[in-house]
Amino acid sequence: MELKGFHNMDCMEGMKEIPDNYFELAIVDPPYGIGEDGRKSNSRKGRGKHKKQIHIHENKQWDSSSPSIEYFKELLRVSKKQIIWGANHFISKIPYDSSCWVVWKKNGQNPNSDFADCELAWTNYKTAVRFFSFDWTGFGAINSGEYRIHPTQKPVALYKWLLSNYAKEGDKILDTHVGSASSLIACYDLGFEYLGFELDKDYYDMACKRLKQHKSQLSLTLDFGM
C-alpha cells in the first residue's frame, strides 16, 4: 500500500503498514457508537432543510460501537499528534488527559432538536481549549455550498481551520475514517500530503466523486483566473 492517497480498506489493516510516528498529525472522526449511521437519520425525516439528501443515509450499522482500544493504540503509534472527534463518547479508551480540546459550535442549530449544539475533539497538544464557530445545521449546511453525502459529515472549513492552526508546512496528515472527504479536500486545498481510509464502498465512491469534482472545479477556477 502506498502511504498516501485515499484507500477503500479497513484502517486497522492499513495502519499495520505504517511505520512508527510516520504522520505528523492525525485528524480523525471515528464512529462514536451513538447510532448516527442512518438509524437516527431515518427518524429525522422531514426535520432537515435538505430533504432530498436524506435518502442516502441508509442504515449501515457502522455507528453501533466506538473503536476498540487497539485502534487508539495504533493511531498513537503511527502519528505524532492527534485530533480525535467525538472523544467525549469514548474518553476511557484514550489513556491521556488533555488541556487542549477543540470545540466546534454549530451556529443556527435548533436548541430543541436532538442534534448536538457542539462537537468536541480531544487533542494531545499542550495549549488551551480552542473554539471554532460555523453555520451548520441538521442534514445540511447554511451558506457553505456543501452537499451532504454522509450522515456525520463535517464542513471543509472546519478541517481547514484545524490544519491552519495545528499543522505545519510539509506535515503528512492521516484520516482513518474519511467519510465524506471533507478532510481530504481541505488537505488538497492547503497543500498537505494525506493518507485516508474509508471502509464502506458506497461512501468511498461518493467521497472519491466529491474529491474529484472539487479538484476539477478548483482547476477550472485557476485556469480562468477566477
* Contact by Cβ (8 Å): 11, 27: no
Which domains occur in the chain, in start order? 5-221 (3.40.50.150)
Q: If DSSP codes are grouped into helix, strand and coil, which group holds residue 207?
A: helix
Reference 30, options 116, 99, 94, 96; nearest CA is: 94
Q: What is the pLDDT along the chain (226 residues), one digit of tens a residue?
A: 999 999 999 999 999 999 999 999 999 999 998 877 655 554 444 444 444 443 445 667 676 788 999 999 999 999 999 999 999 999 999 989 999 999 999 887 666 666 788 999 999 999 999 999 998 765 555 556 788 888 889 999 999 999 999 999 999 999 999 999 999 999 999 999 999 999 999 999 999 999 999 999 876 665 555 5
Listed in sequence order, the residues at least 6 apart from 176 whose beta carbon sits closer than 8 Å to its beta carbon are 11, 14, 15, 26, 28, 30, 71, 75, 196, 197
Please report how many Cα atoms fall inside a 13 Å half-sphere around the Cα of residue 79, on the Cβ side: 29
**What pLDDT score does 53 carry?**
45
Query: What's the pLDDT score for residue 106?
Result: 87
What is residue 167's predicted lDDT score, i.e. its pLDDT? 98
Residue located via cell numbers 449544539? 117
Provide the 3-class DSSP secondary structure of residue 53: helix
Q: What is the pLDDT of residue 146?
A: 80
